[in-house]
Amino acid sequence: MFLDRERFKPAAEMRLSRDRSSIRVAITDPKLCELGEAVYAWITTGGKPVRIGTCGASAGKRLLSYPGYINRSLAGRGGATPKWEALKWLNVLTEHGMLTAVVHRPEPTPTAAGLIRPYLDVERQLIRQHRPLLNRSHR
């Protein structure tokens, strides 16, 4: 596992549809998916992160948004996910069968401005460290 299992807990699963033409996401831990100001990663069954991101509000809402963006692009209807990236998602799921979303909400840290939850800093560090295949930028 590339990410700390003590901190990052499984929250959702991504799989291909039966006809293998689109993706779907199922929430596996509804309580964890209620968290905001959190870092998430889509990982392979071997634990390798393929996408790392953050959510300001609900982790579940963010994780459940993936199929809409990717499937819209695969169907040729444009959207936030470029076609080349949507095809990479399809290839990764074909190769691995399933991806698991793991979520971590960092503890607040005291700063001069008061307590701040450093989820954006954690994301930035993890992207630099792992260089996930499906992150478009390497902040």
Give the span between the Cα atoms of 19 and 56, in whole angstroms. 34
- pLDDT 10s digits, 48-57: 999 999 999 9
Instruction: Locate the domains of the chain by residue range.
Output: 9-130
Which tokens hold the place of 22? 């689109």
Q: Domain 9-130, CATH 3.40.1440 — does that match?
A: yes
Give me the residue label for tokens 């100001």.
Answer: 37
Residue 138 confidence (pLDDT) above 60? no
DSSP letter at 41? E
Which tokens hold the place of 89? 């998602």
Please state, as a whole number, how many other Cβ atoms lie within 10 Å of the Cβ of residue 26.
Answer: 11
Residue 1 confidence (pLDDT) above 80? no
Q: Left (φ > 0), alpha (ψ -120 to 50) or beta: where does 37 sit? A: left
Q: pTM of this prediction?
A: 0.93
Residue 139 confidence (pLDDT) above 60? no
- pLDDT 10s digits, 21-69: 889 999 999 999 999 999 999 999 999 999 999 999 999 999 999 999 9
Give the span between the Cα atoms of 47 and 38, in whole angstroms. 19
Averaged confidence pLDDT in the chain: 93
